[in-house]
Structure formats: structure tokens, C-alpha cells
Amino acid sequence: MALKKCKTCGTLFDSIGTPFCPACVKEMDYRYKVVRDYLYDNPDQSVEEVAEATETPEWMIMSFLRDARLTMKNASGLLRCDQCGRAITSGRFCDECAAKLGMKVRGAQEAIRAGYTGPRMHTIEERKE
Ligand SMILES: [Zn+2]
Ligand SMILES: [Zn+2]
């Protein structure tokens, strides 16, 4: 067991590998659903507009996109492939690089799309560094 300081609210908590305390993880899950539902009705909005309308911080929306939990039409230009820098709409790599990197990345993204929402917060941690 290791005490960690939550990246969002600063509370000390017993970390099981996430940089956020259980309350914030819960909050993020809730926010995710709000943003997802909002995007469903408003697919053409920008990250700023969605952030304002759903009262969700932009970095949180970006982290959902990075985790491939959300896809946004207007994310291109904001999200770039980690490998080649090409604009992408979701996840961390473009299709080409994902294919090159093998099934590992693709499998993980598909698991998320299929509804896996377990503690997989290290990508958010990398992003915020
Ligand atoms: Zn917290
Ligand atoms: Zn690429």
C-alpha cells in the first residue's frame, strides 16, 4: 500500500496504481458519461464548446480521447499520433502506426470500446506530466 496525493483534488489516498483518488475516479466516470451523451447529440462541437457545455475540464476530455474512450470529429489537430504526428480523432496512434505497432495497441483500444472502463489511468498521468 502506498499513500499517494490525488492529482485532481490533492487528497492523500491508498493508491492501487491510479493517480486519482476514488472520489475523483468516480467523478471522472460520471463526467465521461455526461460528455459522451453530450457528444452523441452534438457531434460537431469543439473540445472547448463541449467542456463549457458539460462543465468538464478540457484536459479531462482530452484524456478520454487519448484513452480512446471518446471519439470526436473536431479532435483532429488537437490529438496527434505519438509515432508520426499525424492528426487523429481518438487514441494515441494513427491506424497505420497502430498496425505497425501490432495488435497490442489495437487490442487495448478495442477492449476500451467494448466497454472496459477499469483503472487504466496511467495514460492520463503521462499526458499531464
Ligand atoms: Zn481526488
Ligand atoms: Zn502515426
Q: What is the pLDDT of residues 74-100, one digit of tens each?
A: 776 788 999 999 989 889 999 899 888
Over residues 45-62, mean pLDDT:
94
State the pLDDT confidence band at 129, using cuts at 50, 70 and 90.
Answer: very low
What is the model's pLDDT at position 19?
Answer: 87
Closest listed ligand to the CA of 83: 2
Closest listed ligand to the CA of 27: 1
Tell me, in angstroms, the distance from the centre of ligand 1 to residue 100's CA.
37
In contact, 12 and 5? CB cutoff 8 Å: yes
What is the model's pLDDT at position 35?
Answer: 96
> Which pTM does this prediction carry?
0.67
Tell me, in angstroms, the distance from the centre of ligand 1 to residue 77's CA.
30
Tell me, in angstroms, the distance from the centre of ligand 1 to residue 18's CA.
10
Helices and strands in the chain: count of H runs, count of E runs: 6, 4
